[in-house]
Amino acid sequence: MLLYLRLLKESFTFAMSALINNKLRTFLSLLGVTIGIFSIIAVLAAVDSLDRKIREDLNKVDKNTMYLKRFSFAPSEIPRWKMEQFPDVTFDEYQALKNSVSTSQYMAFQIFTKSEVIRYENKSASDVNMVPVSYEFADIQAVKIAQGRFYNESESNAGTAVVVLGYEIAQTLFGDDNALEKKVRIYGQRFTVIGVLEKQGSASMGMPSNDTSAMVPVNFIRRVYGDHNDFMTPIIIIKPFTGGDAEETKAEVTQKLRQIRGIKAGQGDNFMIDIISSFTEFIDEIVGVMNLVGWIIAGFSLLVGGFGIANIMFVSVKERTGLIGIQKSLGAKNRFILMQFLFEAVILSLFGGAIGILMVWGIAAIATAALDFEFILSFSNIMLGTSLSIGIGIIAGILPAISAAKLDPVEAIRSGM
C-alpha cells in the first residue's frame, strides 16, 4: 500500500512538472479533455435541469388531467393536415359533457388567445399572456393565490369584467401597493383586480409562466369576440376523480362527444384527447435524444483530448528514458514503471476534467442568476465527469506506459545519455 502511495506521489510530482515546465504544450493537449468534459457535463446538466423543471411543473397538475381539443400536443399518428380539418370544441359541448360525464370531478373551458397590453393609469404591462377560462380552472390547476381570490361560478358564467393577475404583472402595474379592487384596462374595458397569483418562476417547454399571465372569465371573451375567431383556440380541461381511472374517463368522454357530434360507428374521431401522464414518455424521448446529441458532440472532443494526453505521455517517456533505465537497473519492476506513467496520465487528464467541471459550475451559477432558471450541476454528473477523465487518462496513457515498462535498462541509460 505504501509503495502505491509513494508511486502516486511521484506521479503527481511528474505531472505537475509537466504542467509547469511545458505550459503551452500541456495546455493545448489538455484542451481537448477540458472541452470534452465541459461539453458533456454542460449538456447533461442543462438537460437534467430542464427535465427537473418540466416534471415539477407537471407535478402541479394531476397526472390524470386531460385536454380535449382538435389537435394534439404530443406527436400523433394522425397527420397535422387532417387535424386542422377537425372542428374546434365548443362551449355548448363543454356544458353537455360537464353534465353527462360521470367519471370527471372537474371540467373547465379555456381559450388560447393572443397576448394583450394591460394598463393602469400611466403604467402598462405588455405581452401579457391572457388566460380566458371558466371558474373550475382554479380547482383543476390548484391555482395559488397570494392576494384576494379567484372568480366564482356566477362571475364566470356572467362574464364579469374581473381579472386575476400574475405576480410580475401586478408588480409592474402596482409595485408593492395593494392591487385588489384596482381598475385596469384590458380589451378597451375596465376590469377589477380581484386576485394576484403567487410567484411561480420561469415555466418550461416554451410555456408562458403564470407570473406573466392574467386570468379572466372565458364568457367575457366569448361575449365580446364570439366563438369563432382565428386568434382563439378553445380547449376543454377534464380532471377525473382522485384515484379514478384516466382511461375510463377518456373512454366516456370520447363516447359522449361522438354522440354529441353524431359520429357514426366505424368513423374516426374528429377530436384529440391528451392525458398529462402521457407527456412523461414524450419528455423521456426528448431527454434521451438531447443526451445522445450531447454525447456525440462531446465524444469528438474527448477523442482529441485522449490523443493530446497520449502525446504528452509519449514525449514524457522520451524525455525520461535515461531515468527509466536507472530505475530499472536499481531493481524497479516493469509494473512499477507502467503504473508510474499510467498514474501520471490519469492525473493530467483529471486536471483537464476538473477545469471543464469548474467551467460548467461557473456558467450554471451565472445562468441561474441571470435567467431565473435553476441550472443544477448534480453530484452524479460531477462523478460522471471525474470517471470520464480517469477513463480517458487510462486509455490514453496505457500505450506510453507499456512502452516505458518494456524499455531495456541498458539501452534506456545509453539513449538517455
User: 133, 197, 192: which is closest to 171 by C-alpha?
Assistant: 197
Q: Collapsing DSSP states into helix, strand and coil, what is residue 76?
A: coil
Q: Collapsing DSSP states into helix, strand and coil, what is residue 77?
A: coil
The tens digit of pLDDT for each residue in 4-20 reads 677 667 666 766 666 67
pLDDT at 367: 81
Share of the chain above pLDDT 90, in %: 28
- Classify residue 360 as exposed, middle or buried by CB count within 10 Å of its CB (0-12, 13-18, 19+): buried
Give the range among 1-15, 193-207, 266-280, 337-351 with minimum mean pLDDT: 1-15
Is it the case that residue 277 has pLDDT exceeding 90?
no
pLDDT at 89: 92
Is it the case that residue 223 has pLDDT exceeding 80?
yes
Q: Is 348 in contact with 309 (CB distance < 8 Å)?
A: yes
Is it the case that residue 331 has pLDDT exceeding 60?
yes
pLDDT at 60: 63
Which cell numbers hold the place of 394? Answer: 487510462
User: 49, 31, 146: which is closest to 374 by C-alpha?
Assistant: 49
User: 309, 297, 113, 308: which is closest to 220 by C-alpha?
Assistant: 113
